[in-house]
């Protein structure tokens, strides 16, 4: 039974989420402070966190930043702010989805199911370029030229998807789906930031390599010949 941690200071909203999620087969826990959520995740890790942005002690954004220092648990933001910049910031600091208040409890439950399904480990090993990349799906680790890459969860999923289908051009929307973020959440341009970070980490191993190719107006691909 997946365990969901709800971080929300409004009791009525928390009660609505608890009812919907428990009815969908999840166990839940509710805290009202970002600091309490961080401590709870250290002591008894949840499978997913629903995180309000406007909390009484520290903001949901800051809570997520601190959370990412020790955990890659999926995070869904809740907020009354629906601006594109808030959504983009949310993804760039490590969120998986962003839901605007007021919301449909059933939609939130469906989004939680979708995130957990996308985050499930893939059983099939990769065969692409084994002499250059070694992918451990269970530990979510990738080695490039025998050197371990320090990757975030999003970066791991992104690089894994590119490696699985060499030379295929993925659109930003397809890559969002690969990393487990809803393509309708307005985060397409954030893929560029993840690609930039991945390239920097690959160049730290081999300075002149360009395994990730840009296709203007289309997206990105993995090219073994440039590795």
Helix, coil or strand: residue 51: strand
What distances in angstroms separate CA 205 from CA 35, 103, 147, 148, 198, one per listed residue? 37, 45, 7, 9, 11
> What does the pLDDT read at residue 41?
95
Would the pTM of this model clear 0.75, i.e. be above it?
Answer: no
d(CA 71, CA 143): 20
Please, what are the domains in the chain?
A: 3-119 (3.40.50.2300), 133-226 (1.10.10.10)
Confidence of residue 162 (pLDDT cuts 50, 70, 90): very high
Helix spans in the chain (H): 11-23, 34-43, 60-67, 84-92, 105-119, 153-164, 172-179, 190-203
Cross-strand bridge partners of residue 28: 4
d(CA 53, CA 61): 6
Long-range contacts of 104-107 (CB under 8 A, 24+ apart): 105/16, 105/17, 105/19, 105/20, 106/20
Q: Which two tokens stand for residue 226?
A: 């440039």
Contact between residue 128 and residue 186 where contact means Cβ atoms under 8 Å apart: no
pLDDT digits (tens, 9 = 90+) for 28-80: 999 999 999 999 999 999 999 999 999 999 999 999 999 999 988 999 999 88
């Amino acid at each position: 039974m997946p365990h969901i941690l709800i971080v929300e200071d409004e009791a009525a909203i928390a009660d609505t989420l608890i009812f919907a999620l428990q009815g969908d087969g999840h166990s839940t826990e509710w805290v009202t402070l970002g600091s309490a959520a961080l401590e709870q995740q250290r002591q008894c890790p949840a499978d997913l966190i629903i995180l309000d942005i406007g909390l009484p002690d520290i903001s949901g954004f800051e809570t997520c930043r601190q959370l990412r220092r020790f955990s890659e648990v999926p995070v869904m933001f809740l907020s009354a702010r629906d601006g594109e910049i808030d959504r983009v910031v949310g993804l760039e600091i490590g969120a998986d989805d962003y839901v605007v208040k007021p919301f449909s409890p059933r939609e939130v439950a469906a989004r939680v199911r979708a995130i957990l399904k996308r985050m499930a480990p893939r059983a099939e090993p990769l065969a692409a370029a084994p002499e250059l990349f070694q992918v451990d799906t269970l530990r979510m680790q990738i080695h490039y030229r025998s050197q371990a890459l320090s990757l975030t969860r999003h970066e791991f999923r992104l690089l894994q998807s590119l490696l699985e289908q060499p030379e295929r051009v993925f659109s930003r929307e397809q890559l969002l789906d690969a990393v487990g973020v809803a393509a309708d959440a307005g985060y397409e341009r954030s893929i560029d930031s993840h690609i930039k970070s991945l390239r920097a980490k690959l160049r730290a191993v081999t300075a002149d390599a360009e395994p990730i190719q840009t296709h203007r107006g289309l997206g990105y691909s993995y090219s073994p010949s440039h590795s």
